[in-house]
Amino acid sequence: MAGHRPFRELMADVMKDWSPERRARYEARKAEFAAEMEAVDKLPTILAVQVTGPASLRLTWSDGINGELNLTGLLADRHFETLRDPDVFALVGVGEWGHSLAWPSGVELGADTLRHEMELTQMQRERP
């Protein structure tokens, strides 16, 4: 688009009037944000999901981990009431970018929550 300047140029113009302290705070926050985004990029994502029961799934993760997950306890929460119907539960798919599981009703479960649940389940199985 003619007449539009790149964001970096605009920010450089804005920042030239900033005090050194304000510029330092901005740069520090920018670095924190970059570190947070790098950490998010390292989280495993969901590649595939297969329904294995009325509240159970088999997940395939981007880091090569595969595992079975029973969500009966999680589905007890009132927010997930619709997913207690096995026919509705079976409509699950991998959400955008593999960061969640999603159902056509709009219900989503984040990959971080699912991974945590899967790891807890694995630890409980390994206990004597």
**Using one digit for the tens of pLDDT, what is the confidence trace for 90-109?**
999 999 999 999 999 999 99
- What is the overall mean pLDDT for the chain? 87
109 with 61, same domain: the answer is: yes
Domains of the chain: total: 2
Residue 98 covered by a domain: yes
Verify that 112 and 50 share a domain, yes or no: yes
State the CATH number of the domain containing residue 72.
3.30.2020.10
What is the extent of the structural domain holding 62?
46-126
Q: Is residue 78 part of a domain?
A: yes
The full 3-state SS of the chain, as one line of letters, equals CCCCCCHHHHHHHHHCCCCHHHHHHHHHHHHHHHHHHHHHHHCCCEEEEEEEECCEEEEEECCCCEEEEECHHHHCCHHHHHHHCHHHHCCCEECHHHCEEECCCCCEEEHHHHHHHHHHHHHHHHCC
Whole-model pTM? 0.66
Kindly tell me if the per-residue pLDDT of 10 is higher than 90. Answer: no
Q: Does residue 67 have a pLDDT over 80?
A: yes
